[in-house]
């Protein structure tokens, strides 16, 4: 009876095929559907480019991450595919592929007989060419008109491409389940290896998934996967491509199991930072949709600036020093190369899987506290002041603000600070000295300097700007301080070194051009002051001998944010510590009150010590011996008359009634500031109705 059924079906199918051939139906279908499919009758079939994943590389060429949308695909050329892998695919789907045309009447007959006998659809008769047409040009519906289009287009495709080209396209297109498209992605997904390293059994399993990747998923339904693999092995045995011994061995091989979830890496924050930069880059497309396609399906090779060694050192420093607070407090770190602007390390949070928010780059930022004082010092130098000029540092300090409420910051010790040089006021981080300084130079000048040096966030020109009342990110602070390390040359931070397309063509590369935004003399003068802050001031915990480090601590009101930002000639690094959700006091973390000079400075030291290990120490160039200052460009002569006298009255921008409490740096001062000897002071005059005048003679300068 079974033989009779086969005979009847074969005769019927053969008759249908012969009739269609005699009637020339295929050519009529071609003419009927070519215009609907391609737009113009007779136009060649153009297969759309395959979506290919993009790969993000670290500085040393190691892979940081892979970017893809739904389709995880890495196209390979046919000559890279081992013969036993090709044989498994052909035997599973179309063993006579190189012998027949676009359609295979014999395979169609065999499939029809098998399916009638089994009472279901267990075997397909479509050729590889037909399958390729179905998954690239048509929808997966089983309607009769769609099958006719498939046959017509397959015939035309075989006229347009060689068999080898069709097969290459096919092995890069087929879906193998679990987001793996193409054999290379399948090898990686199921066996964590490359396509050219698959053995025969692994190749057969991948080939067996082509027919039904969901129903035969070895991770979900091992029984169905074994059954399907067994059918392919038996087929290959019948074709003489595996031995009986191979059949038993391959059927007994264990199935692949799902890999463990990839552990979150600190570099995930950097990879996300790079991805967002790419999606916003108009060089990858004029529209968001074009950029998304390029990033997730364009097969880009994205070479970044991240140094894996520096990154490990940064992660180890944060993990090793940050005290356990049950997740309440975290730290962020950014390290930038001053000579290029390249971001070499970035720690954006404790766990990328738990929180995607990048504390180093995202959001409005946090108040930097006294780590903002160097911008006020630079602004003063640009107005002709010197780091040796003196200023009243006594606390409390009541600073009138015409048109707004009186500003009353204080020093930590709550006692008189006397008269200090700007150097000492910076080294000891004395708030009242800088509160009086900003009244003289104007908050607008501080905001201008900060923006020029690398702060990109909005900076309202309030008097409290000098104590860090504006919001900034660690990325901005590391970049701005790198301008000092580079002798006043500003280079924007960047994470992408170059991008290469799927054909190997370089699309764009980073430019390391810089702009002189503050004078070399002023940058060196500020660096000299900040290096003393690390040697004997509030930043001693950040010292990295034998390197000379310049830097500044910062702690905001009520200990809600703590910073250390510092640099050597080779690296500029910002460390922030606080609560990721908002301003939460750190008054008892690890048994201490947190200041910029505690955990942040220690994290800085641990990271920089490891990152700089093995390098020859480089010293900062000294400023000109006169100790004078220079304007933005060329050095200018010092103004005549007493030092620290404002050249003209300056009206401060009033603080609005609803202004937030200004940032106060309560504990960056560890000891009362050193006072200037009384005989150095000629006079101190207070005239808040007009301006503040400090007439001080400094006998260290002629």
Q: Which residues are identified as catalytic?
A: 93, 370
User: Under 8 Å CB-to-CB from 674, ≥6 apart: which residues?
Assistant: 420, 424, 428
User: Under 8 Å CB-to-CB from 234, ≥6 apart: which residues?
Assistant: 247
Report the alpha-carbon distance of residue 410 to residue 388 in Å, rounded.
Answer: 23
CA nearest to 485, candidates 346, 621, 382 = 621
Which H helix or E strand runs over 572?
A: strand 572-578
Report the alpha-carbon distance of residue 53 to residue 512 in Å, rounded.
Answer: 28
Q: How far is CA 343 from CA 271, 491, 517, in A?
A: 12, 11, 20
- Tell me whether residue 145 is exposed, middle or buried, using C-beta atoms within 10 angstroms of its C-beta: 0 to 12, 13 to 18, 19 or more: exposed
Looking at the DSSP bridge assignments, the partners of residue 390 are 421
3-state secondary structure 168-185: HHHHCCCECCCCEECHHH
Which H helix or E strand runs over 188?
A: helix 183-191
- Tell me whether residue 582 is exposed, middle or buried, using C-beta atoms within 10 angstroms of its C-beta: 0 to 12, 13 to 18, 19 or more: exposed
Which H helix or E strand runs over 16?
A: helix 2-23
3-state secondary structure 505-527: CEEEECCCCCEECCCHHHHHHHH
Report the alpha-carbon distance of residue 36 to residue 382 in Å, rounded.
Answer: 72
Q: With b meaning 16 or more CB within 10 Å and e meaning fewer, what string describes 214-245?
A: eebbbeeeeeebbebbebbbebbbeeebbeee
Q: Report the C-alpha dihedral over residues 52, 58, 60, 66, rounded to 10 degrees.
A: -30
Strands 390-392 and 63-67 come out as: unpaired
**How many Cβ atoms from other residues are within 10 Å of residue 212's Cβ?**
13
Three-state SS for 49?
coil
Q: How far is CA 636 from CA 386, 488, 519, 522, in A?
A: 12, 16, 10, 11
Report the alpha-carbon distance of residue 633 to residue 291 in Å, rounded.
Answer: 40
């Amino acid at each position: 009876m079974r033989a009779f059924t086969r005979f009847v079906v074969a005769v019927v199918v053969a008759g249908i095929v012969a009739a269609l051939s005699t009637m020339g139906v295929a050519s009529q279908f071609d003419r009927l559907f070519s215009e609907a499919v391609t737009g113009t009758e007779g136009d060649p079939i153009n297969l759309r480019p395959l979506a290919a994943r993009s790969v993000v590389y670290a500085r040393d060429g190691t892979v940081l991450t892979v970017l893809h949308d739904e389709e995880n695909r890495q196209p390979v050329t046919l000559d890279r595919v081992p013969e036993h892998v090709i044989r498994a695919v052909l035997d599973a789907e179309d063993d006579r592929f190189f012998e027949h045309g676009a359609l295979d009447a014999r395979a169609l007959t065999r499939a029809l007989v098998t399916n009638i006998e089994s009472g279901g659809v267990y075997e397909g008769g479509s050729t590889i060419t037909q399958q390729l047409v179905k998954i690239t040009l048509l929808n997966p519906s089983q309607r009769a008109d769609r099958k006719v289009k498939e046959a017509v287009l397959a015939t035309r495709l075989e006229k347009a491409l060689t068999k080898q080209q069709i097969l290459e396209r096919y092995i890069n297109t087929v879906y193998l389940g679990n987001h793996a498209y193409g054999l290379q992605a399948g090898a990686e997904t199921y066996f964590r290896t490359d396509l050219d390293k698959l053995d025969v059994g692994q190749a057969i399993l991948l080939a067996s998934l082509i027919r039904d990747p969901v129903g035969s998923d070895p991770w979900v339904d091992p029984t169905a996967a074994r059954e399907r693999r067994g059918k392919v092995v038996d087929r290959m045995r019948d074709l003489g491509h595996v031995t009986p011994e191979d059949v038993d061995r391959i059927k007994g091989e264990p199935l692949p199991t799902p890999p463990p979830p990839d552990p979150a890496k600190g570099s995930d924050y950097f990879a996300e930072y790079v991805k967002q930069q790419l999606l916003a880059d108009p060089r990858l497309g004029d529209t968001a949709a074009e950029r998304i396609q390029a990033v997730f399906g364009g097969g880009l090779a994205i070479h970044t600036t991240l140094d894996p060694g520096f990154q490990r050192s940064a992660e180890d420093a944060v993990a090793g020093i940050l005290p356990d607070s049950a997740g309440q407090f975290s730290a962020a770190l950014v390290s930038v190369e001053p000579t290029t602007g390249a971001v070499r390390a970035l720690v954006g949070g404790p766990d990328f899987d738990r929180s995607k928010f990048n504390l180093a780059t995202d959001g409005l930022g946090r108040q930097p506290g006294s780590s903002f004082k160097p911008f006020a010092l630079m602004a003063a130098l640009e107005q002709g002041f010197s780091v040796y000029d003196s200023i009243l540092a006594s606390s409390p300090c009541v600073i009138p603000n015409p048109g707004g409420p009186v500003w009353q910051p204080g020093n930590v010790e709550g006692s008189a600070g006397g008269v200090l040089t700007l150097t000492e006021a910076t080294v000891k981080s004395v708030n009242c000295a800088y509160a009086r300084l900003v009244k003289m130079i104007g908050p607008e000048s501080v905001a201008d300097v900060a923006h020029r040096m690398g702060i990109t966030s909005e900076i309202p020109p309030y008097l409290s700007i000098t104590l860090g009342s504006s919001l900034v990110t660690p990325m901005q602070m590391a970049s701005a301080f790198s301008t000092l390390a580079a002798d006043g040359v500003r280079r924007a931070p960047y994470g992408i070194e170059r991008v290469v397309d799927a054909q190997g063509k370089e699309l764009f590369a980073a430019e390391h051009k810089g702009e002189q935004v503050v004078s070399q003399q002023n940058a060196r003068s500020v660096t000299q002051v900040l290096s003393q802050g690390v040697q004997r001031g509030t930043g001693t915990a950040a010292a990295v001998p034998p390197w000379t480090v310049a830097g500044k601590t910062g702690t905001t009101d009520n200990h809600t944010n703590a910073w250390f930002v510092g640099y050597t000639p080779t690296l500029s690094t910002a460390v922030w510590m606080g609560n990721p959700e908002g301003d939460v006091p750190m008054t008892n973390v690890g048994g201490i009150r947190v200041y910029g000079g505690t955990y942040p400075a220690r994290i800085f030291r641990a990271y920089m010590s490891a990152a700089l290990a093995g390098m020859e120490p480089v010293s900062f160039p000294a400023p000109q011996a006169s100790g004078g200052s220079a304007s933005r460009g060329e050095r200018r002569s010092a103004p005549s008359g007493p030092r620290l006298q404002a050249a003209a009255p300056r009206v401060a921008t009033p603080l609005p009634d609803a202004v937030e409490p200004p940032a106060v740096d309560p504990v960056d001062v560890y000891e009362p500031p050193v006072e200037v000897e009384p005989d150095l002071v000629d006079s101190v005059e207070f005239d808040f109705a007009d301006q503040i005048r400090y007439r001080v003679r400094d006998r260290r300068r002629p």
